[in-house]
Amino acid sequence: MSPRAERPDAPWPTARIAWSAVVVLTLVYSIAFVHRIGLGLLVEPLQKDLHFSDTAIGWLAGILFAVPYTLGGPFFGWLADRSSRRSLIAIASAGWSATTAAFGLLTSYPALAATRIAAGLTQSALQPAAASMIADCFQARDRSRAYGVYVAGTAFGTAIAYWLGAVAIGVGALIATTTGMKDWSAAFLALAVIGLIAPLAMAFVREPARQERAGEAAANLRATFGFIRREWLVVGSLSLGVAICFLAPYGQLAFMPVMFSRKYGWSAGELALVYGVIAVFAGGSGSVLGGWISAWLARRGRADSDWIICTAGSAGSLVTGGIAPLMPTAEWSLFFFALSGLFTNWPSVGALGAVNRLAPNEMRGQLTSVYTSCVGLIGAGLGPVAIGTLSDRLPTAWGGVSAAMSITFFGCAVLSCALLAVGQRSYRTLAAGRT
């Protein structure tokens, strides 16, 4: 089924309108990522107050967020293909802000688990809707650059989460004396207030006209399942390969403050200030660079440019990330984490480009949700759980959480690159036919 339109498409948005939409969506993605990973910086004070184990934290940061994120993705992807994506993102962002506020006000494990489930469900709407909007703002040859900027939102979100956490920890004692609130509670309430920027920002974005439509034949679930069945090798290897690539970085975000505290004696506030800067410059510039390289390769005739970026990013981020926890000093560890950050978002940039290159407009939200659901369940879900469980069970002499993190990174490097290698030739053939 060709994604070419059966009727003339509407004019493409001007560059100003298109890039304005990308900037706002990047801001919203940054805020979403703040809410997703903010728990990681506050593990130590939360454990001290509520006495949760590393495994229990891993479940809160991982599975309890990821399962509803995975289950909600296909529904919201279907909705994004049939309704206003702008409104969908605005409503969802208000929802995840409310769940973050609730997390800061509750103390029992079941109640906290419920808020993480709600957060995962509401956040599952963002990626399918935003990826589809960007695809309707840029022609295929320019999309990778736009996705590179958009995915940089994860770097900005990481930095904001770490900086905000540092501020919250720093003023926690003052807040406690005046309100009786714990520092970690104050941090989550601050995150919730920041989250309200997202639905307000969406008021400044236009809903773009849908481009590259295939017509009514592609506008139903049967057609989507048929596409996945025909192209199962490409869809499966891409989704699983990228999901496993992100398993280790999600685990890193949940347990990096703990690792630096236990191994190097750094406080969460110290790490937040330093790693926040690293996240902005390494992660942000790396995302943009990955998108530009992909577009450069595409303009020079590489039909599989998006796939190349996925594989290179997986290898580059996971090998250097596996070395980082083994370093004897915090400075060397941060150096290798910075190298890892340069490549971390490349697989996401490439995957979004690949999905939206192959799929007709009527399927883009749904097929994006297949990829994001895999990342949510395997990456965000199992990453924190894997590292937390290994940390609790490895012999103390092995190094605890630092050894668990390194083992996870190296194992994911092998599996991710192998899966991506399986599907590259098939993708190259399909992509060449869409050019």
Output the pTM of the full model.
Answer: 0.72
pLDDT band at 212 (very low <50, low <70, confident <90, very high): low
pLDDT band at 255 (very low <50, low <70, confident <90, very high): confident
Could you write out the DSSP letters of every residue in 158-209? HHHHHHHHHHHHHHHHHHHHHH---HHHHHHHHHHHHHTHHHHHGGG---PP
Contact 361, 212 (CB under 8 A): yes
Cα–Cα distance between 103 and 261 in angstroms, integer? 24
Residues in the chain: 435
Per-residue pLDDT, 401: 86
Cα–Cα distance between 347 and 361 in angstroms, integer? 22
Tokens of 349: 């940039």
Per-residue pLDDT, 174: 63
pLDDT band at 89 (very low <50, low <70, confident <90, very high): very high
Q: Residues of 29-49 as b/e, b for ≥16 C-beta within 10 angstroms?
A: bbbbbbbbbbbbbbbbbbbee
**In one letter, which amino acid is 381?**
G
Report pLDDT digits (tens) over 277-333: 887 788 888 888 988 898 899 888 888 889 999 999 999 999 999 999 999 999 999
DSSP tally for the chain: helices H, then strands E: 21, 0
Contact 68, 163 (CB under 8 A): no
Residue 15 has pLDDT above 70, yes or no: yes
Report pLDDT digits (tens) over 162-180: 676 666 555 555 665 666 6
For the chain, the C-alpha Rg in angstroms (whole number) is 21
Cα–Cα distance between 64 and 69 in angstroms, integer? 9
Report pLDDT digits (tens) over 412-432: 999 999 999 999 998 888 877
- φ, ψ (nearest 5 deg) of residue 51: 65, 45
Residue 73 has pLDDT above 80, yes or no: yes
From the list 393, 394, 386, the residue with the least C-alpha distance to 254 is 386
Per-residue pLDDT, 397: 66
**In one letter, which amino acid is 231?**
E
pLDDT band at 1 (very low <50, low <70, confident <90, very high): very low
Report pLDDT digits (tens) over 47-59: 778 888 877 887 8
% residues pLDDT > 90 (the chain): 28
Contact 355, 371 (CB under 8 A): yes
Q: Which domains does the chain have, with CATH numbers?
A: 15-204+227-434 (1.20.1250.20)
Contact 380, 250 (CB under 8 A): yes
The sign of the torsion formed by the CA atoms of 156, 158, 161, 165 equals negative
